[in-house]
Amino acid sequence: MGFFMKKKTHTEIKINLLLVIFGVIFFMTTVAGECEFKAVFNFGDSNSNTGGYYAAFPALHPPYGITYFKQPAGRASDGRLIIYFLAQSIGIPFLSHYLRSIGSNFRYGVNFSTVSSTVVKQNDTTISPFSLDVQLNQLKQFKQIVDDHYSSDLHIPQPEVFKKSIYTIYIGQNDFTKMLQSCSVNNMSALRDVGSGISSTIKEIYGLRGRTFLVFNLAPMGCYPELLVESHNALDIDTSGCLIPCNNAVDAYNSMLRAELDQARQELPKGDLIHVDTHAILRGIFDNPTSYGIEFATRACCGYGDGPYNYKPDVVFCGNSKVVAGKNVTASVCCDPGKYMHWDGIHLTEATNRIVAAAILGGSYFYPPFPMSDFCAI
pLDDT for the residue 306: 79
Q: How confident is the model at residue 19 (pLDDT cuts 50, 70, 90)?
A: low
Judged by average pLDDT, the poorest of 171-180, 203-212, 251-260, 333-342 is 171-180
pLDDT for 117-138, tens place per residue? 999 988 776 678 999 999 999 9
Q: How confident is the model at residue 1 (pLDDT cuts 50, 70, 90)?
A: very low
Bridge-based pairing of strands 212-216 and 165-170 is: parallel
Say what the alpha-carbon torsion angle 220, 224, 227, 228 is, to the nearest 10 degrees: 110
Q: How confident is the model at residue 158 (pLDDT cuts 50, 70, 90)?
A: very high
Percent of residues, the chain, with pLDDT higher than 70:
89
Residue 20 pLDDT exceeds 70: no
Cα 296 off chain centre by: 20
Catalytic positions, written as ranges: 46, 344, 347
pLDDT for the residue 29: 42
Q: How confident is the model at residue 3 (pLDDT cuts 50, 70, 90)?
A: very low
Mean pLDDT of 328-352: 96
| Cα-based distances in Å from 199 to 64, 66, 352 | 33, 36, 28
3-state secondary structure the chain: CHHHCCCCCHHHHHHHHHHHCHHHHHHHHHHHCCECCCEEEEEECCCCCCCHHHHHCCCCCCCCCCCCCCCCCCCCCCCCCHHHHHHHHCCCCCCCECCCCCCCCCCCEEECCCCCCCCCCCCCCCCCCCCHHHHHHHHHHHHHHHHHHCCCCCCCCCHHHHHCEEEEEECCHHHHHHHEECCEECCHHHHHHHHHHHHHHHHHHHHCCCCEEEEECCCCHHHCHHHHCCCCCHHHECCCCCEHHHHHHHHHHHHHHHHHHHHHHHHCCCCEEEEECHHHHHHHHHHCHHHHCCCEEEEECCECCCCCCCCCCCCCCCCCEEEECCEEEECECCCCHHHEEECCCCCECHHHHHHHHHHHHCCCCEECCCCHHHHECC
